Structure 1
Amino acid sequence: MASGNRHSSHNVPEFLDAPADAEDLLSEDDQEVAGELLEEDEDVAEEDEEGVVDPAAQPDQQSMPPAPPPGLKEISPLASWTVSSSKPGCGVAALRAPNTALFWQSDGPQPHLLNIHFFKLVEIVGMRVYLNFDLDESYTPTLIRFAAGTGYNDLQEFSTLQKQQPNGWLEVDFEDVGEVEPADGDDDEMKDDSEEEKENTRRLPVLRCMLVQVRICENHQNGKDTHLRGLQLFARDSSKMQERMDAGVSAMPATAGAERMRKKKIFEVPAWATVPSLR
């Protein structure tokens, strides 16, 4: 018992009771270096948790795609996109990102296929792709074929794009699409509108389909894999015309077409429909 009491009566030194803080044992310069290392470790830990940082989060102004042509709206986000092959990190997500610094890179035999599936029948009136020979060189497509249909069984080729050293956004030729329809508002009442209105309501070929297939058949210098940095599909934008119709003829510009519509009085309510009468 006595020996136990003697052991318990020993005093523990204060420096063992309360260990000193690590910062107190470092000089000011060493503390700054340690702080920078801790910040780097925290950044690495955040990237490990969130995955690879997406460079498309803040694209610069030059890599942003241009606005749709006048009178058209982009319908690319309405579709489901699939590719025949891709390198890790260079798949559909990179192609669909609003940043031409990113790209889809194939990883398989030619032709390399990009399938754009819509869930219902759409009317496409414009299409463009972004290629960059200066950056991609042998990965740059030089021959692209475009086909469309309601499914894989009835695909029909409607256009071909062939360039040796393409750079920038390239319009897909719709000359062989066939049927031509007027855009919204291109009627007799709009014939006397301004030149800008006529341009916005120009007659456009309409490609009706549910599936668009992009076939990259050849690359520069017989390259195997390919880079495609952007692709957009457009339909007619009827929102402006609808707004004008909702506002009524009185809100239309003072043109001869609008004057003819006012004379027709198609927006006036007849008196018999508003004034009750007793019989």
Structure 2
Amino acid sequence: MAAESSEGEEEGKLSGGNRLLSVDDDLREMGKNAAWSVSSCKPGNGVSSLRDGNLETYWQSDGAQPHLVNIQFQKKVKLQLVALYLDFKLDESYTPSKISIRASDGFHNLKEIKSVELLKPTGWIYLSLSGTDPRETFVNTFMLQIAVLANHLNGRDTHVRQIKVYGPRPNPIPHQPFQFTSREFITYSSIR
């Protein structure tokens, strides 16, 4: 997971990263259920490069900032975590340094739910979408927008190598089939 830096001016910025994706078993990847779009891209470096599972490919924007990734769902979903793969060592000035995550039921009423500054990230960066209330561990939304507001070294275009969005699993006990607990339901739970 990303670590907080504690060096003077760099305090409060996320740095680090992990080459291997590590997510709790009680979360599932929700991106496959969404329609993805970007504000701009260089030919051959579009949305498909964000979702292909290959850390060597990347989305490259081609226009003015902010650079946007829009993730739209057909129905309201609970989202808990965004994982971004960034690589400052390879991408340098193309690496995002400031990201805003926004949520809503459409483009017309987006509200920022998370803003983060990054310090030379290399690897998976995890951004929790929990609310200000400690009981809110997720965001319930139709749309998520990831906005790259600035890049390292004042770079213009951006590279993001992978994005994954996670929500809670519907089954409260991960990787186990649902089981009835009352005697009445157990009696009628199998076909005879």
**Aligned counterpart for 1:97 among listed residues 48, 52, 77:** 52
Question: Could you say which residue in structure 2 is the equivalent of 1:78?
Answer: 33
CA deviations on 1:60-103 (whole Å, 9 max, x unpaired) are: xx97x635422111011110110010001000011111111110
Q: What residue identity is the alignment partner of 1:172?
A: L
User: Superposition pairs for residues 149-168 of structure 1, below 5 Å?
Assistant: 149-168=104-123
Which whole-Å CA distance do the structure 2 matches of 1:126 and 1:118 have between them?
16
Question: Could you say which residue in structure 1 is the equivalent of 2:156?
Answer: 224
> Following TM superposition, by how much is the alpha carbon of 1:126 offset from its aligned partner in structure 2, in angstroms?
1.5
- Equivalent pair of 1:131/1:166 in contact (CA under 8 Å): yes
TM-score by length of 2: 0.79
Question: Could you say which residue in structure 1 is the equivalent of 2:137?
Answer: 205
Greater Cα offset, 141-150 or 161-170:
161-170
Which whole-Å CA distance do the structure 1 matches of 2:177 and 2:24 have between them?
20
Q: 4+ residue runs of structure 1 moved beyond 6 angstroms?
A: none
Structure possessing the higher relative contact order (Cα contacts under 8 Å, 6 or more residues apart): 2
TM-score by length of 1: 0.55
> Following TM superposition, by how much is the alpha carbon of 1:173 offset from its aligned partner in structure 2, in angstroms?
3.5
- Equivalent pair of 2:171/2:178 in contact (CA under 8 Å): no
More helix by share: 1
Distance change in 2, residues 1:137/1:119 (3 Å): same
Structure whose alpha-carbon radius of gyration is higher: 1
More strand by share: 2
Which whole-Å CA distance do the structure 2 matches of 1:82 and 1:127 have between them?
16
**Aligned counterpart for 1:134 among listed residues 80, 89, 108:** 89
Which whole-Å CA distance do the structure 1 matches of 2:172 and 2:98 have between them?
37
Counting matched residue pairs gives 167
The answer to whether structure 1 residue 147 and structure 2 residue 102 are counterparts is yes
Which whole-Å CA distance do the structure 1 matches of 2:123 and 2:77 have between them?
26
- Equivalent pair of 1:148/1:213 in contact (CA under 8 Å): yes
> Following TM superposition, by how much is the alpha carbon of 1:236 offset from its aligned partner in structure 2, in angstroms?
1.1
Which whole-Å CA distance do the structure 2 matches of 1:178 and 1:229 have between them?
29
Which whole-Å CA distance do the structure 2 matches of 1:100 and 1:163 have between them?
19
User: Superposition pairs for residues 1-279 of structure 1, below 5 Å?
Assistant: 66=21, 68-175=23-130, 177-178=131-132, 205-239=137-171, 241=173, 243-246=176-179, 248-249=180-181, 266-268=182-184
Which whole-Å CA distance do the structure 2 matches of 1:212 and 1:110 have between them?
18
Which whole-Å CA distance do the structure 2 matches of 1:153 and 1:94 have between them?
27
Question: Could you say which residue in structure 2 is the equivalent of 1:262?
Answer: none
> Following TM superposition, by how much is the alpha carbon of 1:147 offset from its aligned partner in structure 2, in angstroms?
0.3
Other structure's SS at 1:205 match? coil
Identity of aligned residues (%): 34
Unaligned 5+ runs, structure 1: 1-61, 182-203, 250-265, 270-279
